[in-house]
A = this chain, B = another copy of it.
Amino acid sequence: MADSSLTIGIIGGTGDHGRGLGFRLAAGGHRVIIGSRDAERARQCANALTGMLPAGTPAPDGMSNEAVAEAAALVLLTMPWESDGSAVSRLGPALRGKIVVSCANPIGFDSLGPHQLDTGHGSAAEHVAALLPDSRVVGAFHHLSARSLLDPAADLSAADVLVCGDDDAAKTTVRRLCLAVTGRTGIDAGPLRLARQIESFTAVLISVNRRYRTRAAVRLRHVADLEPVEASGAA
């Protein structure tokens, strides 16, 4: 059962990725608040999500990003990565001491297709950590396609969520959150600096999706189950 006492804020939550994660988390029993620069737009988005959820599920709320940062115990940053970082740093005081999950993939597109963007900070997640030094920054949810998240018929149990960060307790909390999204605990992928490799791998997934007209998910398969994953690790 989801820990419904943990209010989850989705900053920039009116985009496809944020709406998709909000839908899955709310469907999993979590209290969700959608955030947007425009509070009215956030409320409309929350209402639309409520219409997609089974009757009896607690309805998501919608607020301004600032109000979400104040109200939530944990936030997901789901807006596209921005080089100036002002939208994130503005939320710093409200997010002090809180778990902040960076979900952004700094990916650019040109005639050769998708490619990794240089954030100047290694990764979007490390950029967030630099902008919010008093928050507990974790990277997660990079590889899930927004269309699949928003498709109630899509079974996401084939997807592994790779979770990275330098705060083990925060990482464990986020790994458990993954249960509501994919049905499986997230994988502890290591320290926050591996966010660079995890974020940029999304360019490979997009490239494969375009070539094969599919929605691919990363699953780490265990060629040698010397010790089963779900029975070990920090969680």
Contacts and interface: CB of A to CB of B under 8 A. Distances in A.
A158 interface: yes
Interface string A182-214: 000001111101101110110111011001111
A224 interface: yes
A119 interface: no
A88 B227 CA distance: 39
Q: Of A113, A190, A229, which is in contact with the most chain B CB atoms at under 10 Å from its CB?
A: A190
Q: Of A115, A145, A155, A232, which is in contact with the most chain B CB atoms at under 10 Å from its CB?
A: A115
A221 B160 CA distance: 10
A42 B197 CA distance: 34
Contacts of A55: none
Contact of A194 (B207, B218, B232, B233): B207
A147 interface: yes
A125 interface: no
A198 B225 CA distance: 23
A81 to B, nearest CB: 16
Nearest to A207: B190
30 contacts: A113-B191, A114-B190, A115-B194, A116-B196, A145-B223, A145-B224, A156-B223, A187-B208, A187-B212, A188-B211, A189-B204, A196-B200, A197-B201, A198-B201, A201-B204, A205-B220, A211-B232, A212-B227, A214-B225, A214-B227, A214-B229, A215-B222, A215-B223, A215-B224, A216-B221, A216-B223, A217-B220, A217-B221, A218-B220, A219-B219
Interface of A: 112-116, 145, 147-148, 151, 154-156, 158-159, 162, 187-191, 193-194, 196-198, 200-201, 203-205, 207-208, 211-229, 232-233
Given A159-B221, A190-B207, 13 more contacts: A114-B190, A145-B224, A154-B223, A158-B223, A194-B203, A205-B220, A211-B232, A214-B224, A214-B225, A214-B227, A214-B229, A216-B222, A217-B222
